[in-house]
Amino acid sequence: MVFNSIRSRLTALYVALLGIILILFSIILYYFLNNRLYESIDNSLKLSASVVRKTAQLDYSRTPLPGLEFLFEQFLGYGNLNKFYRIYDGSGNVGSRSKNIDASKFPLSQDAYGRALKGEMTYETFTVADGHPIRVITMPVLRDGTLVNLIQVGTSLEGVKETMRNLRIFLFTGVPTVLLLSALVGRFLARRSLEPVAKITHTARDIASGGDLSRRIPVPEVQDEIGNLALTFNDMMDRLERSFAKIRQFSSDASHELRTPLTVMKGQSELGLSKLRKPSEYQEVLSSNLEEINYMSHILDDLFILARADEGQLPMETERVNLVTVIEDVCKNVEILAEEKQIEIKIAYLESAEVIGDGHRLKQMVWTLLHNAVKYTPEKGLIKITLQDLGDYAFLSIQDNGIGIPETDLPWIFDRFYRVDKARSRSEGGSGLGLSICKHIVEMHNGTIEVESKMGEGTRFKIRLPKDRAASRKIA
């Protein structure tokens, strides 16, 4: 039989365990009761034999003992009425016996006589001619070491056999009935408690076949293991839905970003080819196309960096990086652009701070932030740079007094292709990927990046970079 569902396996396991316990219990109960019944019969036989031994008449045992039953009744009560007695003399001849016993039905055994000569008692079980089981005690009476009498008391075992037979019937019918009932109840309970799992499977299958990521599993009221499973499943679906939405958005943004320069190139090329033109006009078309090609390759480079970062495969050096050198190097490059707009780049405070990381990537990050500051700050603006060593981490701030970012755009500013003003960003040669890459670089160094901005007043980026691994845990 193949148990291909948890429900069947649980039920089978439960019934098997219960079966083993019940069978063991039945065997123990049967043998214990059997022994106890024999023990109590033996005790009562021994008591009766002792009473006989104590009677003074034993010296003379040749005549029947008419008063013995009366004597037992008086000493031991009515419980002894179903017993029979025999008294032998020392040489093994029957002296007296109770009336309800026929001597021929069970003789005195050699074994019992031999043991009696040694002064030992013997318990024996016989089956008499009509098939009745009887239990007999043979008790010796010794005087000065010589066997003078042998007392035999017997009783029927029919009662014990009957009790044990009834117990057997009870156990042989009761145990299978209990097992059958528990299998049915167990199966029912297992089905009920696993019902929510079936619902989860059903919903998951629907989602897989229909692709509707907005579907959720009804969470049971009781917060048990299955309730938690449903919650976890729904959480997972939330995240999946968000990720898919992001991927969709990203694909459409990426294709749009690449389509725009292609459309421009196509339009200009078609226009250029529509009639014969002067060499200078062709040159103009080619240089405009080259600009668009540069823009596209810039986007593709950035996308490549992000794709590798997503896969966790962006190579990262781990070396001691002096942030002062990084800032000074980047400033030299950006200053050329800043001068065109007469923007002043002021190093307000530069404290020596070293971090463990990738110097090239950190330069890329500072360059993007400074370049953005120049792009989005009007002529004659001011950019302030601060670097502080705050013990566990280095703190870098890049602040401008440019156009600022609207409050509603701030939460999305690090998203891929997100730009407050697409036209302006494009005209500045921006791809909308710079800040996403900055965030990746900072996170690769276990740091944090924050932005503060006010429209018309300016923007400030604050970066915290841990100086070593131990510090990175404190910042996180």
Residue nearest to ligand ADP (CB): 430
Q: Does 430 bind ligand ADP (CB under 6 A)?
A: yes
What are the backbone angles phi and psi of residue 124, rounded to the nearest 5°? -135, 150
The smaller minimum CB distance to ligand ADP, of residues 41 and 435, is found at 435
The verdict on 372 binding ligand ADP (CB under 6 A) reads yes
432 binds ligand ADP per the rule CB under 6 A: yes
Q: Is 247 helix (H, G, I), strand (E, B) or coil?
A: helix
Please tell me whether residue 402 binds ligand ADP under the rule CB under 6 A. yes
Residue 431 found at the interface with ligand ADP (CB under 6 A): yes
Min dist CB 393 to ligand ADP, Å, is 23
Non-local CB neighbours of 430 within 8 Å, separated by 6+ positions: 372, 375, 419
Task: Name the helix (H) or strand (E) containing 153.
Answer: strand 146-156
Q: In the complex with ligand ADP, which residue's Cβ is closer, 389 or 421? A: 421
Site stretch for ligand ADP (CB under 6 A), options 55-63, 68-76, 357-365, 400-408 = 400-408
- Least distance in Å: CB of 434 to ligand ADP? 3
Residue 392: DSSP 8-state = S
- Cβ proximity to ligand ADP, 49 vs 449, nearer residue: 449
**434 contributes a contact to ligand ADP by CB under 6 A:** yes
H or E element at residue 347: strand 344-350
> What amino acid occupies position 267?
G
Does residue 261 touch ligand ADP according to CB under 6 A? no
**Contact status: 357 vs ligand ADP (CB under 6 A):** no
Alpha-carbon distances of 91 from 14, 65, 95, 150, rounded to whole Å: 64, 19, 10, 9
* Shortest distance (Å) from residue 347 CB to ligand ADP: 17
Decide whether 153 or 373 has the Cβ nearer to ligand ADP.
Answer: 373
CB 399 within 8 A of CB 360: no
Q: Rg (Cα) of the chain, in Å, rounded? A: 52
Nearest of 314, 297, 294 to residue 305 by alpha carbon: 314
Q: Site for ligand ADP (CB under 6 A): which residue of 139, 305, 403, 465?
A: 403
Cα 60 to Cα 149: distance, rounded to the nearest angstrom: 9
CB nearer to ligand ADP: pick between 191 and 426: 426
Query: For residues 436 and 359, is the Cβ–Cβ distance under 8 A?
Result: no
Interface residue list for ligand ADP (CB under 6 A): 368, 372-373, 376, 400, 402-405, 413, 418-421, 425, 430-435, 459
